[in-house]
Amino acid sequence: MIYNINSLFFRHKAEATLPQRKRGTFPALLLLPLLAWFSTGTVAAAGIEQQLQQHIEQELAQYLQQLGVRAQQQDIQLMLPGGLADNHCDNVQISRRQQQEPPLGRVSYTLSCDSPQRWQSRATAKVALWLELVVASRTLERDEVLNDTMLTTKSLDIASLRHGLEFDSSALFGMTVKRRIDAGSPVSRHLLQAAWLVQKGAQVTLQFSGDGFAVSTKGLALSNGQLGEKISVQNLSSGKVIDAIVIAEDLVETGHK
């Protein structure tokens, strides 16, 4: 009987001396390791994602430097496997196939780590990059010779273009359209061909200009010439070979008589 009384006494004392707030704290203590594990996994995943983001941004910066232009806008969307949250890495090694190509469109990356644990995973990025490109200001038909009224610039995502990018419309003036180009579409050199306003061996008008005077004579073109291009022309009157600038079809100009 004494034993039973003491048991009841100690059970009652224990219940009486344990405050309610401490009884509520005890289950939270059990959760701390789980919270710490979850937090560490989240930080690890965020760190890996951040490293991949920075890697792609550096690749884009190098590509833009090669082109010699500035981006109008860029967008990087990362898709990482869910299990990557369980991994941690001091320095993630990031690589991809076709490293010489710009990271545009849907790009697959290999992620690997040596420390503190060795692991390898894959991630995918969807990359868009907008640049100011030369486009047709109106529909261009075959055999038209380009001038400044036919071309303009427009910001376009180059993820599906990549090659044949043109940034300076003046570099295309005088070229001939090989096939129809819709208004607003990019104009690249593979859609064009050189337009020879002067054909080699053709007789041309050789125009001399100076301070307050201009005279002309006949000449023989010794090479093909596009608009604004310097070519060699033989003066048929004197037989002298001089340099002249193509200014129109079968018309060249020089400042020296």
Q: Answer yes or no: is 9 within a domain.
A: no
Distance CA 235, CA 256 (A): 12
Domain count, the chain: 3
For the ranges 41-45, 66-70, 235-239, the lowest mean pLDDT is seen at 41-45
Tell me the three state secondary structure of residue 251: strand
Final residue in a domain of this structure, among 193, 214, 238: 193
What is the distance between the alpha carbons of residues 129 and 118, in angstroms, rounded to a whole number?
A: 34
In-domain check, residue 124: yes
Predicted pLDDT of residue 44: 52
Domain shared by 112 and 54, yes or no: yes
pLDDT band at 253 (very low <50, low <70, confident <90, very high): very high
> Is 35 inside a domain boundary?
no
Query: Is the same domain home to 93 and 104?
Result: yes
Q: How many CB atoms lie within 10 A of CB 195?
A: 19
Average pLDDT over residues 197-221: 88
Does a structural domain hold residue 157?
Answer: yes
- Please say if the pLDDT value at position 95 is more than 60: yes
* Burial of 214: CB neighbours in 10 Å, binned 0-12, 13-18, 19+: exposed
In this model, does residue 144 exceed pLDDT 60?
Answer: yes
pLDDT over 60 (residue 14): no
The pTM assigned to this predicted structure is: 0.62
Residue 68: strand, helix, or coil: coil
Q: What is the average per-residue pLDDT within 214-242? A: 91
- For residue 66, the SS3 value is helix
Residue 30 falls inside a structural domain: no
48: containing domain: 43-130
Residue 92: inside a domain:
yes
For residue 6, what pLDDT band results from cuts at 50, 70 and 90? very low
Arithmetic mean of pLDDT over the chain: 82
Same domain, 126 and 71: yes
Residue 153 belongs to domain with CATH number: 3.90.1210.10
Domain finish residue from 83, 104, 130: 130
Residue 106: helix, strand or coil by DSSP?
A: strand
Whether 212 and 187 share a structural domain: no
Residues 173-202: tens digit of each pLDDT: 888 899 999 999 999 999 998 878 898 999
Q: 61 and 99 in one domain?
A: yes
| Chain-centroid distance, C-alpha 73 | 9
What's the rounded Cα separation, in Å, for the pair 150 and 182? 11
24, 84, 27: which is closest to 52 by C-alpha? 84
- Whether residues 250 and 218 share a domain: the answer is yes
Same domain, 93 and 158: no
- The verdict on 140 and 176 lying in the same domain is yes
- pLDDT tens-digit readout, 104-128: 999 999 999 998 889 999 999 999 9
Q: According to the model, what pLDDT value does residue 25 have? A: 38
Which of 105, 130, 155 terminates a domain? The answer is 130
Residue 102, SS3?
coil
Looking at the domain assignment, is residue 13 inside a domain?
no
* Confidence grade of residue 85 (pLDDT, cut at 50, 70, 90): low
Judged by average pLDDT, the poorest of 31-45, 64-78, 150-164 is 31-45
In angstroms, the CA 166 to CA 187 distance is 7
Identify whether residues 59 and 124 lie together within a single domain.
yes
CATH code of the domain covering residue 239: 2.30.30.760
- The reply to whether 24 falls in a domain is no
Same domain, yes or no, for 83 and 55? Answer: yes
198, 197, 217: which is closest to 207 by C-alpha? 217
Examine the domain organization and report whether 149 and 161 are in the same domain.
yes
pLDDT at 101 over 80: yes
Tokens, residue 4: 């039973």
CA distance 3 to 9: 10
Place of tokens 């289950």: 27
Integer CA distances (angstroms), 219 to 204, 225, 227, 244, in order:
5, 14, 17, 10
Task: Tell me the average pLDDT across 163-169.
Answer: 91
Residue 253 and residue 152: Cα distance in Å, rounded? 28
On whether both 169 and 188 belong to a single domain, the answer is yes
- Give the contacts of 47 (CB within 8 A, at least 6 positions apart): 88, 89
Report which of residues 205 and 226 the model is more confident about. 205
Question: Secondary structure of 8-44 in the HEC alphabet?
Answer: HHHHHHHHHHCCHHHHHHHHHHHHHHHHHHHHHHHHH
pLDDT of residue 21: 38
CA gap 210, 192 in Å, rounded: 35
pLDDT over 60 (residue 31): no
